[in-house]
Amino acid sequence: MMKIEVKKMCKQAVVLDTIKKTKGKGGMTSAQIKLAEAQSEDYADMKRELQELKTDFNDFQKDVKTDFNELKIQFAKMTGNIDILIQNSQNKQNLLNNKYFWIFLIVFVCVFAGVTHISEIMKVLGG
């Protein structure tokens, strides 16, 4: 916007200089023509700037849409990972609450400890 204002001020200054120079010489019509030309150029410049802004805005919208879609994908992945973690946690909790798991664990430990002691006893006895 500042760029447009500076251009506009420069063109208007030229027109004002022209008006001052032609004042009283009957050349007011040429000054009016120059003013109209300057305003026309200002309008064309503003139109170009507006088109550039529209293009930039469209690009920005596309970028935002792309970023939003990427965020949705990342969120879906994170949600899936959280669901897996919750399921694993529930499975572990179910296993710890299962009395057969504890019975199996105790029997396994006892058998393993017994086998270890039997092999040591056999070594001592000469086997």
pTM for the full predicted model: 0.40
Question: Which residue shows structure tokens 């500042």?
Answer: 2
Q: What is the pLDDT of residues 80-89, one digit of tens each?
A: 888 888 888 8
Which residue type is seen at 68? F
**Size of the chain in residues:** 127
Give per-residue pLDDT as tens, 26-41: 555 666 667 767 777 7
CB 15 within 8 A of CB 35: yes
Q: What are the backbone dihedrals phi and psi of residue 15, each rounded to the nearest 5 degrees, phi first?
A: -65, -45
Each domain of the chain, given as residue ranges in start order, spans 2-125
